Amino acid sequence: MILETKKVFFDEPLYLESGRVLKPYEVIYETYGTLNSDKSNVILVTHALSGSHHVAGTYEGDRKAGWWDGFIGDGKAVDTTKFFVICMNNIGSCFGSTSPMSINPATNKPYRLKFPVLTISDIVKAQVRVLKSLGITELHAVIGGSMGGMQALCYAVEYPTFAKHIFMLAATAYTRPWAIAYNKITIEAIRNDPDFKDGNYESEDIKENGLKGLALGRMAGHISYLSNDSMDMKFGRRYVEQDGLYELFGRFEVERYLEYNGYSFPKYFDPLSYLYIIKTMNIFNAARGSDTLADSLAKIKTKLHFYSFSGDLLFKPEEMEEIYEIMVANGQGDLVDYTMIESNYGHDAFLVELDKFDFMIKEILES
């Protein structure tokens, strides 16, 4: 598989939904496969909260492949011998695109808490500008799960003729109180950690020592990414062998799992980026700028393919089913199909249980 990483710099302003302006800014992205002569084989993959532009393949020395490597590559569901795949790191994230820790040209210091709040629309606008800078004016498909699914839906509503197919997995048209409540735990844990220093921490200190507030918030997040059944299957009531059952801080395996994922996370993910990204997710509403969600969805002209997962506790199946039903009621039934995939895994099923849906997406992409 041909894999390349590139970065594009923009000096022209990006006018944000908040009324603020981001200038200059840059976006890092990866490409996979070969662009055909008429640029008609482009598939954009949009990433979730903690994802990055490294969606597939490995670089020399990598311990892990890209986060959707089982789904994207030569001969896989998104076949990079046929399609040219692009994945960009969202602005606001901490893997190379402009973020809160980037230098503010007005002060020559990191933005930190002076970075503007971004919306999904802002992120997508920046992506479209990257695509057009590459001479790409239409997409064969956009594919995204969770926060990536929010971006996919945004393409359908705000750029209704830009892509032939939109695939939205494990996502929602607007973030509900359940998800916002989980995010609140993270926000408060980070803000009240003395080492956060009101956003004035040193990045190297966090990478070396971690940040307990972000670790605790990430633990809460992981609970929402799984489900009761997946926890039963994965951990049961197994106890850590080295810990005594009657030690006060002895741990069940599920506790060790949360500790490992929580405390390792701040070593590679920036706390301010995390705060800004969950704010972006919290305020996401596909009906913004329209009277109702039905009015907003009525703008869609491309083919939408929705996939929910029955055990998803974060963005429940009925949230995606609502979008489907509104479109049918709008008389747009010919533009949309909806599949609820039986899964006990939880929200992260779209990253893990690929064999339950990848063949469906492959068939549509290549039909």
**Position of tokens 């969950």?**
278
Given the residues 121, 146, 273, 343, select the one marked as catalytic.
146
The continuous run of DSSP H or E covering 129 comes out as helix 120-133
The crossing angle, in degrees rounded to 10, of helices 271-282 and 147-158 is: 50
Q: Residue 277 phi/psi, 5° resolution?
A: -70, -40
Is 53 a residue of the active site? no
Given the residues 227, 308, 347, 348, select the one marked as catalytic.
347
CA separation for the pair 164, 160 (Å, rounded): 9
**Position of tokens 């790191």?**
89
**Position of tokens 């339950």?**
356
Q: Tell me the C-alpha to C-alpha distance, in Å, between residue 147 and each of 38, 171, 172, 242, 283.
A: 30, 7, 9, 38, 12
Is 146 a residue of the active site? yes
Q: Mention every residue, 6+ apart, whose C-beta is less than 8 A from residue 78.
A: 43, 45, 71, 72, 85, 143, 361, 362, 365
Given the residues 122, 312, 343, 348, select the one marked as catalytic.
312
Is 347 a residue of the active site? yes
What distance lies between CA 116 and its chain's CA centroid?
19
Q: Tell me the C-alpha to C-alpha distance, in Å, between residue 4 and each of 30, 82, 207.
A: 5, 16, 27
Residues 98-110: b if buried by 16+ CB within 10 A, e if exposed? bbbbbeeeeeeeb
Active-site residues, by number, are 146, 312, 347
